[in-house]
Amino acid sequence: MSNSSRYTGLIDKYRDHLPVHDDTRIISLGEGNTPLIRLSNVPRMIGKDVDIYVKYEGLNPTGSFKDRGMTMAVTKAVEEGSKAIICASTGNTSAAAAAYAARAGITAFVLIPEGKIAMGKLAQTMMYGAVILQIRGNFDEGMQLVKEVAAEAPVTIVNSINPYRLQGQKTAAFEIVEELGAAPDYHCLPVGNAGNITAHWMGYSESHKDGVSNNLPKMVGYQAAGAAPFMRGKMVDDPETIATAIRIGHPQSWDKAWNVQKESGGWFDELQDSEILEAQKLLAQSEGVFCEPASAASLGGAIRDVKSGKIPEGSKIVCTLTGNGLKDPDTAISQCSNASMSTIDATLDEVKKSILDNLS
């Protein structure tokens, strides 16, 4: 280890808490160390005395929290001699897998649901050079195929059923505890496969056990109403939502996430697509933070629960913004175009008129 203060990624920083050896070759892109932004306008707008922070995971190297898990999964795959990794994905996992495989010099195979991943994620995955298999099926069917093929072909699965993924992702909780000096009262996340909510609980629990924090948060998971198996109490076969990242009906961490809910005293809830998009826009336009639709489920849910009093005043709340807004430009533009853009002649008069019109 050098004694410079250069940040070299989460494995290097938290190696004492992660399953790596001194001589492990670390595959990193400088992931982690993401901003924890304290919201100033949203709490005022909802008229409640709460402290809301957003953990902006969209500022990871490939634009989502998946990088935290992928640095670990690919580091361990390479250490174990693997020459190829594989995943099913709603988009972000495939982008992360493709990038870390490129960094490691191995091959990434990704199964994605045809026509159902956001444009930015597809662009990344193509550019990083993954072998992309678009399937005529959804994420859950892709996940099943990945499990079956990995039993018969020389590929390492890097979905969150790979235990190293959750190990890497738990470091987000370490960062939050470090910054706040304690765990928050509530930690809200969007839930798809439920790997991330499980990983955060692992991280908070370890911090607590090690005496770094002396409290634990209630973990709250929000799903899209069309893809909400935790609300239905059973798997959903035809998940549908505009938040394609969490268009998942058969969560892989089902039992683990129910344990998190019980142990932490938290809950699950669901949001309509319209509520998700409203929260995404509110965050962008009142705080200057652009996240992808799925990510906004955490804030949208938290706002609703604060308004209703389910989350009491005086609470400290962290919402994970799992992915960057640039991942899904189509959804963003289709929500905004009419209101915020007009075409004018290239004349001083026209520009001046527009300014005066908009400020009046």
- Residues near ligand AN7 (CB under 6 A): 64, 66, 89-93, 160, 190-196, 245-246, 292, 294-295, 322-323
- Is the CB of 12 or the CB of 175 nearer to ligand AN7? 175
Smallest distance from the beta carbon of 193 to ligand AN7, in angstroms?
3
Smallest distance from the beta carbon of 92 to ligand AN7, in angstroms?
4
- Is the CB of 12 or the CB of 292 nearer to ligand AN7? 292
Smallest distance from the beta carbon of 160 to ligand AN7, in angstroms?
6
- Is the CB of 74 or the CB of 194 nearer to ligand AN7? 194
CA 319 to chain centre: 11
Smallest distance from the beta carbon of 211 to ligand AN7, in angstroms?
28
- Is the CB of 39 or the CB of 245 nearer to ligand AN7? 245
Smallest distance from the beta carbon of 348 to ligand AN7, in angstroms?
43
- Is the CB of 60 or the CB of 82 nearer to ligand AN7? 60
Residues 354, 351: Cα–Cα separation, whole Å? 5
Smallest distance from the beta carbon of 303 to ligand AN7, in angstroms?
17
- Is the CB of 14 or the CB of 139 nearer to ligand AN7? 139
Smallest distance from the beta carbon of 314 to ligand AN7, in angstroms?
28
- Is the CB of 102 or the CB of 243 nearer to ligand AN7? 243
